[in-house]
Every structure is written in C-alpha cells, then in structure tokens.
Amino acid sequence: MLIAMAPETGVATARFESLLRLSDSTLILAQRLAEWCGKAPALEEDIALSNVALDLIGQTRLWLAYAGETEGAGRTEDQLAYLRDAHDFRNLLLVEQPNGNYADTIVRQFYFDAWHYPLLQTLARSTDQRIAGIAAKAVKEVAYHLRRSGDLVVRMGDGTADSHAKTQAAADKLWMYTGEMFERDGVDDAMIAQGMAGDAGALREPWLAHVREVFAEATLTLPAPEAWMQTGGRRGRHTENLGYILAEMQFLQRAYPGAQW
C-alpha cells in the first residue's frame, strides 16, 4: 500500500496511521476507565482511576490533533474521536476488553502501562519533534500509572485467596491480547526507517521481564509467553466490544452533530 505512493505521502500516511494507533489505545482505555467513575471499590480508587483516564484523554488529544494535521484533510481531534467508526479505530484489542471485576481492570492496566511506559521513552527520542515532545510529556504521567497498577497487582495477587484467584484469572484471560503490542508491519517499518518510532518488538523482552518480576512478587503464575495471541486491532479489526464503547462515547455527536457546550 505504501510502496505505490510518493515517498512523502507514504511517510505521512504511515505517521497518520501510527498516531491513530497511539491515540486510539489511550482514548478507548480512558473511556473504559471512565466507566468506573462513581462506582469503584473505594472513593480513593475512584478518583485515582479517573485521574489516569484524564491523563490518557489529555494524551489522546495531543496525538489526535497531530494526526489530523498529518492527514491534512481538516479533521480536528474531536472529529477523529467522535466521527470514526469501529473499523477506522486502531487501538489495541487489550484496551477495549470489558472492565470486568477490579482485578480485570487493574491487570489490563498493568499489561498496558508496562508497555506504554517504555514505548513513550522510545518515542521521546523520535526524530519527529512533535512526537518526541508529546511522548516526553506523557511519559511522566505514565510512570505514575505503571507504579500504581503494578503495586495493585502485587496487592491483589498476594492478597486474600479470593483476590489471588481473581487476579490470576484476569492475568490468564487477558494474556492473549498482549501479543499485539509488539507487532510490526509496514506502517511501523516506515516509521522506524524515518527514525520517528522505535521497534516495538524490541520492547517485548523487557516487558516480559517486568511482568515476570511483578507477578513473582504477586505470587501469580506468568501465562506461557509463546501462547497464541489475538491480533487485528491495529489494523481496524476489533472485538465486538468496541462497537458498544463507541455507541456510548459517540452518541452525543452522532445524535446532535456539532453540538458544543
């Protein structure tokens, strides 16, 4: 797909796709976390989760605004967030998985944070100054997200028999959605060739080591690294969950186009 285009167009297209992969993962995860608002297990957790969600929304805005400029079709961050359909979303399948119980939510967050943090560190060295700037700002927020989610995984895994069982079940259930984080395709190749992004595949071993370490402390069993993995989110093929998320998230703009407040 990229080969047939002029080099600049190819790079711009790859960058647009690549930015959507970042923005859509943070956006959909934030939307999921926001579902907990008002009903988390403790008031402090409720506020903490909303804080994380708001951090991610802030990052989403920066990524989407740049994606819109890169595309050059005049789409704003809001239009990109609220007026695209599921097959145009490029988020990881992991982040669209249901909140489930609190262990499901926290393990999903930990898997994501443990990848998101080193990814942003890599992107902070991007040759694209805008990407480097956004990543450098986001990485400080995500350092805290990771500290928090890792801490909670240890507490729940090494907590009561019940919390251990639930956390282990969450770890096993969500495992097959983690392979996608380390994939590499033509879009990534183009970004890497320009020095605008790093190779996500190189993050896999450190990610595994990190998860293994936290799971050991949490007395959890690490699922088999070579297990079969789901794929497709980064190319717009999603689980049925995404449609429901978008239906709720986009309702207002779909029902009342251009509504503002």
Partner 1 sequence: MSKEWPLWEVFIRSQHGLAHKHVGSVHAPDAEMALNNARDVCTRRNEGVSIWVVKAADITASSPGDKGPLFEPANSKVYRHPTFFPMPEEVKNL
By beta-carbon proximity to partner 1, the closer residue of 43 and 161 is 43
Rg for the chain (alpha carbons), in Å? 18
In this structure, what DSSP letter does residue 196 have? S
Choice between 68 and 150, CB closer to partner 1: 150
Please identify, using beta-carbon distances, which residue of 44 and 226 lies nearer to partner 1.
Answer: 44
Distance of closest approach, residue 220 Cβ to partner 1, in angstroms: 19
Question: In this structure, are residues 14 and 20 in contact, taking their beta carbons and an 8 Å threshold?
Answer: no
65, 77 contact by CB (below 8 A): yes
- C-beta of 148: minimal distance to partner 1 in Å? 6
Closer Cβ to partner 1, 89 or 102, answer by number? 102
Which residues of this protein are in contact with partner 1, per CB under 8 A? 42-44, 47-48, 51, 144, 147-148, 151, 155
What string of DSSP letters covers 208-239?
Answer: HHHHHHHHHHTTPPPPPTTS-----GGGT---
Give the nearest distance from C-beta 144 to partner 1 in angstroms: 8
Q: Of the two residues 166 and 238, which places its CB atom closer to partner 1 in the complex?
A: 166
CA nearest to 157, candidates 224, 223, 219, 222:
219
- 3-class secondary structure, 258: coil
DSSP string covering 38-75: TTSSSHHHHHHHHHHHHHHHHHHHHHHHHHHHHHTS--
Output 107 or 154, the one with its CB closest to partner 1: 154
Q: Cβ of residue 143: shortest distance to partner 1, in angstroms?
A: 13
In this structure, how many other beta carbons lie within 10 angstroms of the beta carbon of residue 85? 11
What is the Cα–Cα distance from 61 to 54, expressed in whole angstroms? 11
